Amino acid sequence: MFVDFQQPPSSAAVQQADAGLSFDAAYARARGHANGGQPELALAEYGALLARSPGNADVLLARGVVFSRLERWPEAEADLTAAAQAAPDYPDVWAALADLYRWSGRPQQALAAYDRLIALQPDNPAHRAARAAVRVEKENEAQPLESTPAPRAASPDATIAAGYSWLASLSSNWLDVGDAPRWNEQALSVRHYLRGGSLAFETLRGHRFERTGHAWALDAYVDLWRGAYANLRYQKAPGARLFPANAGRVELYQSLGRGWELSLSDDVLGFDERVNIYGVGLARYVGNFYLQLRHQNIVSSGAHASGDRLLGRWYYRGDADSYAELRVNRGRSDDALSLNGGRARSGGGGIEVQHYFTRDWGARLGASFTREGSGSGRERGVSLALYRRW
């Protein structure tokens, strides 16, 4: 955890130092500090601005958002409520209040805030979608054993903690494939979260068979109808050395109620021979646990493979950030050109732990193994990722 031992300046000190600075310039600097990871300095500057302009709705809103990011809920509520009183028709204030109530565990107040927001902006579908999500969460709370502590657990990248809109990650994995040289892959991703989903840009690098390849991708999550969302991905490899020249994915998630979720997917890999990976998954949320059984069929010209995976994830802190995961899998391939009679079986498993050390920084560490049924082929891998959100 990073600790700043420097005492933040008081509001009076900031006001005195900014005596010759215009109000707009001081406000812009305070916002820069708030968005740049210096919340305590931003709070002091917002306090000085309120001393210069008591009851200013913009400043109250901005300071209330900073308090919300720090999970200082009473102070955030006091500022945002005062902003709503000063500017009752200010949509951003009601959006911030709705988020505050939602993430501090007060769904009834969140619904009321969304009602006010919808009345102010009736043509914005994102407000209605957010209100519907709160209603679903409220219904789940009535059944503790069926609750969903980590929405969209199948895809952690689909959601982010309250108060953040960006997530950057740097990941790498290394695979020992026996007598052959080790493989390794790296990925850098920057994702932006919106009210109706998220969009990420990724760059990928792979090193296999003594060759290096590169690719880039766009990966999006989109809210659909009630209880449904989709993952859409497009990937391009200009050199097509290791990655397919073009690849895409469509995956649909649908809540079935009482903690059950169904998913359907199709991955298309544009190698010299097109490969389709069809998947179906059934998942269940139980308390702080998430369980998923997934089946895949891999189809290409003259070959077919299938696989099953059972995954269990424990959100040990009761949030959507930190978890421990265990998975086991088995597979079968049928290839008329293979040297082992056209059939091969494999099995394996893995373990993964993701942990956020602070609200902004997190990491993930994983290990996996795969073994062919004959025992002649074994693979062992490790993976590491670092996360930063703001």
Do 165 and 73 share a domain, yes or no?
Answer: no
Do 124 and 170 share a domain, yes or no?
Answer: no
pLDDT in tens, 141-175: 554 433 333 345 556 666 666 667 899 999 999 98
Q: Is the pLDDT of residue 13 over 60?
A: no
Give the pLDDT band (50/70/90) at residue 336: very low
pLDDT in tens, 248-261: 999 999 988 878 88
Confidence (pLDDT) at 249: 94
CB 213 within 8 A of CB 196: no
pLDDT in tens, 36-94: 888 899 999 999 999 999 989 999 999 999 999 898 999 999 999 999 999 999 999 99
In this structure, the dihedral spanned by the alpha carbons of residues 17, 19, 22 and 28, taken in order and rounded to 10 degrees, is 20
Do 212 and 234 share a domain, yes or no?
Answer: yes
Q: Is residue 3 one of the residues assigned to a domain?
A: no
Select from 128, 88, 94 the least CA-distant residue to 109. 94
Locate the DSSP E strands across 224-273. 228-236, 246-257, 260-270
Domain that holds residue 29: 11-145
Q: Is the pLDDT of residue 247 over 60?
A: yes
| Separation of alpha carbons 283 and 292, rounded Å | 4
| Separation of alpha carbons 346 and 329, rounded Å | 8
Do 329 and 218 share a domain, yes or no?
Answer: yes
pLDDT in tens, 264-316: 999 998 887 788 899 999 998 887 888 999 999 888 877 778 889 999 999 88
Of the residues 90, 117, 145, the one at which a domain ends? 145
CB 319 within 8 A of CB 105: no
Mean pLDDT of 345-370: 90
Prediction pTM value: 0.58
Do 311 and 243 share a domain, yes or no?
Answer: yes
Do 38 and 178 share a domain, yes or no?
Answer: no
The tokens 């689909």 sit on which residue? 158
Q: Is residue 162 one of the residues assigned to a domain?
A: yes
Confidence (pLDDT) at 164: 76
Instruction: Identify the helix (H) or strand (E) that includes residue 186.
Output: strand 183-194
Using the Cα atoms of residue 131, residue 137, residue 140 and residue 142 in order, give the sign of their dihedral.
negative
Q: Which of residues 371 and 178 earns the better pLDDT score?
A: 371
Counted domains in the chain: 2
Do 263 and 363 share a domain, yes or no?
Answer: yes
Do 370 and 285 share a domain, yes or no?
Answer: yes
- Pairing, β 303-314 against β 166-176: unpaired
Of the residues 145, 174, 202, the one at which a domain ends? 145
Q: Is residue 6 one of the residues assigned to a domain?
A: no
Of the residues 87, 118, 145, the one at which a domain ends? 145
CB 15 within 8 A of CB 30: no
Confidence (pLDDT) at 141: 57
Do 210 and 233 share a domain, yes or no?
Answer: yes
Do 248 and 272 share a domain, yes or no?
Answer: yes
> CATH number for the domain including 53?
1.25.40.10
Do 269 and 309 share a domain, yes or no?
Answer: yes
The tokens 């021979």 sit on which residue? 273
